[in-house]
Structure 1
């Protein structure tokens, strides 16, 4: 084991030993696709619930993700700009993103990576982050991990949430949501709006790049019978972003991208055998359109791109006996992409995949859970892929202490752009990875204190990259990644909450050639955060966050170094009464000048204030 090779400087970022909080949530869904106690899975999972998102006053989902272990972020300009998430040093294309359980990764983008720039927190009730491969349940792209964003769930009583915020760069954010139940119906529906004048995306520009976003969410469950329900979900996002392209005329260019995302889900849930046999049949559609316009002719910023995913699923969980659960399913997915530049005829690509998986969960003795599974995917354009995985979780004291061990395989199938002509290579193999984790989590002081540490190691093979020798995508890259996630959460009083994390990530290029031994781009070796929240005796709620990132590199050759940085944020909230709360925050308090991606701007000191209500 390589735990002792890391220099002491890895912990010198903090004056004390700093760990990362594992969310104190009992139930998770990303481990098996069904609700499951978190202490029954060996996989590392963190949860951001509605209360935590409000406490952090996060505008975007990535603002909240920055406070979690194992997460690195790269944003290319102001809010709304292209934003990438790297889990445990994996590529952004190796993170599977779900909204209300439906995959939203863009099949029309070159590597199907999800752009987090448009994903705001309005009407989001929960974010669940699984770190490490879980392709057994989720299939392709779940190498680095899985992020499941859930809109506000239906409630028993009628609940109305609403909010409005104004701040730096003439930004305005509003959202509203109503949820409730009546008879056999349970529903939640809402909308959110955001606009901002922004800043110049590229450094040195004088022209601001603004952003506007309109989103809508809806969920409806119809309980037809005690053991049968229909489930409907929908999400819509329409954004317009002014951006700067390093391949255009520079920082004062005027390209605009209009992006639309839609997911729809129709499902039926039914239980058999006195509730021991859960079944879910569903159809989901993901529809993404991106249109770019640029006054400059013959520009790659003039594009018209469309992508769709049609997915049919049957998933089941059968408690064979109290100590044995079988999770299994079958899926069929059809993917389509259309890409056109400068008004040229569109390049069309299609493929389909049929999959089956099975996972056995054993509880041989009290506190011990053993999980193992297998999956096979059969692709129409390049054949089959079989994936294995398993994990162990053991708690000797009812969840106060949990020991975890995981072995997981992951894969990412070539995208339509990578694998089909005119740009793709039909001979590509899927990217694959083998990962193992060893972790310990412990709660003490009557559950007012939590600590944990996890060691992870992943070897990735046949990574897909564009070759300037063959001028097409090739399986040419190998990457070794290992590191440590450590964390603690402390509640010294009922009114104070302290959370901190530190992650050490070594993501090393092992591909033959000039970049052998180099670190992967845009992934800091050291990263950590500290948040403190205090409810004062005068009802005023105060909070502070410190985000610390070590040095990183902007390119594969490691010739462009990005200096590390520390950001401090302050926030406050005052509940006027049980229904109404005023809040405000100052971000980047010390006006730190920092760079996440070479050549792109970041925000200096900025302030926002708002009001939110719940009835």
Structure 2
């Protein structure tokens, strides 16, 4: 059994060192996973789109990319997308407690606003905070997730400083598929869902519904905090998605996709002004968060060499806070921070032998509707991109050039150059260098008492080098990265520093032997400002994830281990604490195929009942279990 680990580093305001406790834990666990010899082939013909905007076999991808497919999502149980992402290399998160609450996702130590999030190619998220609501993305409605780590503004425009997370919703299939699931678990958890997918001639369709709720846990842990209330904080999520595809001809197709997820969850807080004179003990605070997404895509094959896609999309990020008197439900006020984005992307791909030339035009507007008075409430970004992908038997390369015109900050150009060389059938070396930029969010510019309208865009240059191995049933990757951000805007103080450096190392190993699959990922992350060497808040320097899946007859059993070193955070009111201790977590599960159409899943998270936090003053769930049944035809 794993217990919370008292992992210490050289703490607060200086870059830390790897503690002896952490090193010992890592070595102990790694010894338990012996070196594996390949015993059966793995499927390596998967393609990745996000790495270069065109489909590329995973074995030829230069960038540092991870894939989350439907198989992984089916075993997630009560976990949310944020928890699944946290199992990947180079990904960390912070959360204000419970199963569903405000979440920040950090790619390679970059701020949460520096991870660009797409749903079916359309950008989503808040223009006020600059980040996406990962807690409101329903797993049942997702087909696949691709995570691109590293600066990618040359490919995707502003904000892709730490990387890109692209979510693909459920697609139509060629044969009729019906499915339904239901489950229940600890802390009042309940979930249910149903979907139908199929095709009738040239028309493909997919429709799905899902619901999740729980009585939850008390998320705030510090009685001295102004928002503390020792109650259970519940949540309720209702989601629906639909996709309709029409094959107009052998060369033309249209796809319409929509997704809506509405979440209501309790949090601890009060409002100003306070007409009823409520305190933190007498306030019932609710956040109503809604994600709405719609896109229309036109795919056209104009010739054997030229194909294009036109995407027109819109996304709404709605966040409304309402406050009531706990005793009788009397209304005490509300505030809202809503964002509407519209986007048009026209991409053309021209095959030149084995090479691909890509030309792209893109326009995006973002507008906010808030009870807070922002002096500027809308901006427009237009971009043009050219890329050229060379593909040769032993090596490949990608060159990208992009220019964006921001209505507030003018023209910014970015470039990227990457290459990979295969020096044996199994081993491959990769390297890349490029630039990115990020305009300040509306909060950073205009939020009363915090914003500064004189802030300028952050610009950075990133480089990385890696070694990849694919052979038989084993794949491994090691990536060393260095990213310098000029004019870094501190997300806590909103002060524009001269320089911040994101540097680190990620290791990733996946293997299969017989009926057992193994995975090990390790991250060393050292994001800090210069010249003072201040560490970024809520980022652990060391993170280790291990998992093993084993099939026995009709059952699949698995275990997941996570170790994290300590992190720094803002001090709690009434305490001198500024370090979040390291921790260890163990998750176990089993998925049993009862019959051809029926399966049962039991997932036990935090088996060791570790008390840990990802943000000062907020708790995370202890030991919890969920059991579910899934029927599929």
TM-score (norm 1): 0.90
Q: How far apart are the structure 2 equivalents of 1:8 and 1:465?
A: 27
Residue 435 (structure 1) aligned with residue 487 (structure 2): no
Residues 548/161 of structure 1: CA separation in 2 closer, same or farther (3 Å cut): same
From 121, 133, 146, the counterpart of 1:101: 121
Residue 454 (structure 1) aligned with residue 479 (structure 2): yes
Report the secondary structure of 1:523's partner residue: coil
From 336, 340, 346, the counterpart of 1:314: 346
| Cα deviation digits, residues 52-92 of structure 1 (max 9, x gap) | 22234352111211211011111111122001110110000
Q: How far apart are the structure 1 equivalents of 2:551 and 2:263?
A: 36
Report the equivalent of 2:307: 278
- The answer as to whether partners of 2:173 and 2:204 remain within 8 angstroms in 1 is yes
- The answer as to whether partners of 1:314 and 1:331 remain within 8 angstroms in 2 is yes
Residues 499/292 of structure 1: CA separation in 2 closer, same or farther (3 Å cut): same
Q: How far apart are the structure 2 equivalents of 1:413 and 1:168?
A: 42
Residues 206/100 of structure 1: CA separation in 2 closer, same or farther (3 Å cut): same
Report the equivalent of 1:531: 547
From 476, 491, 495, the counterpart of 2:512: 491
- The answer as to whether partners of 1:259 and 1:288 remain within 8 angstroms in 2 is yes
Report the equivalent of 2:10: none
From 254, 266, 269, the counterpart of 1:245: 269
Shift of residue 405 of structure 1? 0.7
Report the equivalent of 2:385: 357
| Cα deviation digits, residues 553-606 of structure 1 (max 9, x gap) | 113999600100000011012111121101102111111111111110111111
Q: How far apart are the structure 2 equivalents of 1:102 and 1:278?
A: 19
Residues 58/26 of structure 1: CA separation in 2 closer, same or farther (3 Å cut): farther
Structure 1: 5+ residue stretches without partners: none
**Greater than 6 Å deviation, 4+ residue runs:** 556-559
Report the equivalent of 1:389: 416
Q: How far apart are the structure 2 equivalents of 1:605 and 1:339?
A: 38
Q: How far apart are the structure 2 equivalents of 1:467 and 1:541?
A: 44
Report the secondary structure of 1:77's partner residue: coil
Report the equivalent of 2:441: 415
1:211-290 maps to which residues of 2 (within 5 A)?
211-245=235-269, 249-250=279-280, 253-274=283-304, 276-290=305-319
Report the equivalent of 2:106: 86
Report the secondary structure of 2:527's partner residue: strand
1:591-602 maps to which residues of 2 (within 5 A)?
591-602=609-620
- The answer as to whether partners of 2:324 and 2:332 remain within 8 angstroms in 1 is no
| Cα deviation digits, residues 217-266 of structure 1 (max 9, x gap) | 11121110111111211111111110013989557742111111111111
How many residue pairs get aligned? The number is: 589
From 516, 522, 526, the counterpart of 2:538: 522
Residues 300/37 of structure 1: CA separation in 2 closer, same or farther (3 Å cut): farther
Q: How far apart are the structure 1 equivalents of 2:437 and 2:571?
A: 22
Residue 59 (structure 1) aligned with residue 79 (structure 2): yes
Residues 99/271 of structure 1: CA separation in 2 closer, same or farther (3 Å cut): same
Q: How far apart are the structure 2 equivalents of 1:413 and 1:506?
A: 23
- The answer as to whether partners of 2:341 and 2:365 remain within 8 angstroms in 1 is yes
Report the equivalent of 1:541: 556
From 11, 25, 33, the counterpart of 1:13: 25
Of the two structures, which has the highest relative contact order with CA contacts closer than 8 Å and spacing of 6 or more? 2
Q: How far apart are the structure 2 equivalents of 1:289 and 1:540?
A: 41
- The answer as to whether partners of 1:33 and 1:137 remain within 8 angstroms in 2 is yes
Report the equivalent of 2:8: none
Structure 2: 5+ residue stretches without partners: 1-15, 37-41, 224-228, 273-278
Q: How far apart are the structure 1 equivalents of 2:594 and 2:541?
A: 43
- The answer as to whether partners of 1:382 and 1:428 remain within 8 angstroms in 2 is no
Shift of residue 6 of structure 1? 7.5
Report the secondary structure of 2:71's partner residue: helix
| Cα deviation digits, residues 91-131 of structure 1 (max 9, x gap) | 00100111222211212x23x11121112311321111111
| Cα deviation digits, residues 314-354 of structure 1 (max 9, x gap) | 111111x213211111111111112215xxx7766111111
Alignment RMSD (CA, Å): 2.8
Residues 528/25 of structure 1: CA separation in 2 closer, same or farther (3 Å cut): farther
| Cα deviation digits, residues 124-166 of structure 1 (max 9, x gap) | 2111111111112211111111111112221111112321110
Residues 458/415 of structure 1: CA separation in 2 closer, same or farther (3 Å cut): same
Q: How far apart are the structure 2 equivalents of 1:429 and 1:232?
A: 38
TM-score (norm 2): 0.87
Report the equivalent of 2:371: 340
Higher mean Cα deviation, 34-43 or 367-376?
A: 34-43
Shift of residue 488 of structure 1? 1.4
- The answer as to whether partners of 1:185 and 1:222 remain within 8 angstroms in 2 is yes
Q: How far apart are the structure 1 equivalents of 2:342 and 2:565?
A: 41
Report the equivalent of 1:579: 597
Report the secondary structure of 1:136's partner residue: helix
